[in-house]
Amino acid sequence: MPIIKIDMIKGRTKEQIKAILDVSYEVMLDAFDAPEGDRYQIVTQHEDYEMAILDTGLGVERTDEVLVFTLISRPRTKDQKTTFYHNLVSRLNDELNIRKEDIMISLVENTDENWSFFNGEAQFLNGDL
């Protein structure tokens, strides 16, 4: 945990998608001090007309390589969040040549009672985690 959801326009190769998943997982482990194996990622690919990711008046131009990351996670510190944002964008840009302007991130916080990993049980609450 967290769950990392990544929305993108169709057209990337299997290798590119795997690299995006790997980088985002590694950055999350480091920034959030999460345990190895805490990996929950979902990629959703869209037609180009299914994503309208504008700039909120900031003057950013997006391309069809835009990535939207949505993380659902327990609360994190401000430093953890800003470290995650910075390191994710930097690594995707440095390693995969994805424009920094094409990466949008939103972190949605919830608490331990909002998670069930299997069996309809709340593993954080029953002591399993």
Domain range summary for the chain, segments of one domain joined by +: 2-109
Region 77-81: what's the mean pLDDT? 98
Structure tokens at 21: 């998943």
Region 53-80: what's the mean pLDDT? 95
Residue 83 is predicted with a pLDDT of 98
- Reported as type and span, the H/E element at residue 49 is none
β-partners of residue 5 are: 42, 70
Which CATH architecture best describes the domain 2-109?
2-Layer Sandwich (3.30)
Residue 55 is predicted with a pLDDT of 87
Q: Tens of pLDDT along 108-118?
A: 999 999 999 99
Q: Is 4:34 a contact under the CB 8 Å cutoff?
A: no
Instruction: Tell me the C-alpha distance between 65 and 103, whole Å.
Output: 9
What is the model's pTM? 0.94
Flag whether pLDDT at 98 surpasses 90.
Answer: yes
Residues involved in catalysis: 2
